[in-house]
Amino acid sequence: MSTATQEYTRVAIVTGASRGIGKGIALRLAADGLDVVVADLADQKDPLDAVAEEIRGLGRKALTVSCDVSKEDEVQAMVVAAVSELGRLDVMVANAGVSLAGSVMDAEIEAWEKCWAVNIKGVLFCYKHAARQMVKQGTGGRIIGAISSHVSARPTFNHPLPGASSVCGQRGYANVGAYCISKAAVRSLTQTTALELREHNITVNAYGPGAIDTAMVANPLDEVHGAGYFVKQLLKIPEGVRTGQPSDVANVVSFLVSPQSHFVTGQTLCVDDGIHFT
Our answer to whether residue 179 is catalytic in this structure is yes
235 lies in the site for ligand NAP, by CB under 6 A: no
The torsion of the CA quartet 164, 218, 45, 122, rounded to 10 degrees, works out to: 0
Q: Give the separation between CA 69 and CA 15, rounded to whole angstroms.
A: 8
20 lies in the site for ligand NAP, by CB under 6 A: yes
41 lies in the site for ligand NAP, by CB under 6 A: yes
Q: Which of 13, 69, 82, 101 binds ligand NAP (CB under 6 A)?
A: 69
Q: Give the separation between CA 141 and CA 43, rounded to whole angstroms.
A: 30
16 lies in the site for ligand NAP, by CB under 6 A: yes
Name the residue nearer to ligand NAP (CB basis): 23 or 142: 23
70 lies in the site for ligand NAP, by CB under 6 A: yes
190 lies in the site for ligand NAP, by CB under 6 A: no
Q: Give the separation between CA 143 and CA 115, rounded to whole angstroms.
A: 21
Give ∠ CA 211-103-122 in degrees, rounded to 5: 60
92 lies in the site for ligand NAP, by CB under 6 A: no
Q: Let me know how long the chain is.
A: 278
Q: Which of 11, 63, 181, 217 binds ligand NAP (CB under 6 A)?
A: 217
Per-residue binding string, ligand NAP, 131-150, x by CB under 6 A, is ---------------x-xxx
How far from 36 is each of 11, 14, 33, CA to CA, in Å?
A: 6, 7, 9
| Buried/exposed code over 61-83 (b: 16+ C-beta within 10 A; e: otherwise) | bbbbbebbbbeeebbbebbebbb
The residues that touch ligand NAP, with contacts defined as CB under 6 A, are: 15-16, 18-22, 40-41, 43-44, 67-70, 95-98, 118, 122, 146, 148-150, 209, 211-212, 214-217
